[in-house]
Amino acid sequence: MGIRENIDDIMKRVENTCKKIGRAPKDITVIAVSKTVDSERAKEAVEAGINNLGENRVQELIKKYDELKDIDIKWHMIGHLQKNKVKYILDKTVLIHSVESLSLAEEINKRAEKNNLTANVLIELNIGEEESKFGITEENVYDFILSLEQFDNIKVLGLMTVAPFCENPEDVRWVFKTMKNIYDKISTMNLKNTEMKYLSMGMTNDFEIAIEEGSNIIRIGTAIFGARKYKEEE
């Protein structure tokens, strides 16, 4: 199947999942993860109806941003972000999904202030506490989000996680349940510069389970663009 057919299939699956649990499909944002995909194929996804694109690497984001600047695209930084790269993407992204350290938040705030911007961010959690993944642990997230109140040029709009890869997506349902509980708890904390709006979780292998547990942003790579040249979760 081509990119358009793949997207139609995903949208149908989102619709069916929402119908099953009484949610509105329009409340789910689908991000096409375009890492390692050239601009022409990324453009196909946009033409097929997805205008939210996610990149894992700053260099790729900048390149595609420039090549596709005449098209209405909302760019998301979803991969690990190094402090020295913040300045390159701050004015190009609608949302940074991967804030997981105070030093990164500090750098984002500093650059945003300098450019007279407010940076919209999600806090990345590592619920499975996998050594290979970035993210704040569940026990530290509440102190961490409190520490972000000092930054006036950052707006925390929610949480993100990458669940452990399992053959059976039911095996990671607990991760998504835990995320939703944390999301709900933070929602009641009445924090400065924080509005729990987005719960970014669910990828090609597990997005239906994620939606059932409350996700409203799913990040889909393989199911749209096909398998990549290298093995990495997406």
Give the start-to-end residue ranges of the domains of the chain. 3-224
The proportion of the chain whose per-residue pLDDT surpasses 70, expressed as a percent, equals 97
**Token digits for 6?**
């793949």
Region 40-54 average pLDDT: 97
Q: Is 233 a residue whose pLDDT tops 80?
A: no
CA separation for the pair 193, 151 (Å, rounded): 8
Region 63-68 average pLDDT: 98
Least trusted range by pLDDT, from 125-129, 192-196, 226-230:
226-230
User: Are residues 7 and 53 in contact, defined by beta-carbon separation less than 8 angstroms?
Assistant: no
**Token digits for 103?**
């030093």
Q: Is 71 a residue whose pLDDT tops 60?
A: yes
73-85 per-position pLDDT tens digit = 999 999 999 999 9
pLDDT at 130: 72
Strand 154-161 to strand 119-125: parallel, antiparallel, or no bridges (unpaired)?
A: parallel
CA separation for the pair 3, 132 (Å, rounded): 30
pLDDT tier, 54 (very low <50, low <70, confident <90, very high otherwise): very high
Q: Is 232 a residue whose pLDDT tops 50?
A: no
| Type and span of the H or E element at 86 | helix 86-89
Region 13-34 average pLDDT: 97
Looking at every residue in the chain, the average pLDDT score rounds to 94
pLDDT tier, 234 (very low <50, low <70, confident <90, very high otherwise): very low
Region 20-25 average pLDDT: 97
Q: Is 181 a residue whose pLDDT tops 90?
A: yes
Q: pTM surpassing 0.75?
A: yes
pLDDT at 229: 63
CA separation for the pair 179, 103 (Å, rounded): 23
**Token digits for 231?**
């093995």
Residue holding tokens 């990149």? 55
- Taking Cα atoms as reference points, which of 94, 91, 98 lies closest to residue 57? 98
92-141 per-position pLDDT tens digit = 999 999 999 999 999 999 999 999 999 999 999 999 777 778 899 999 99
Instruction: Please identify, in words, the CATH class of the domain defined by 3-224.
Output: alpha beta
Type of residue found at 172: V
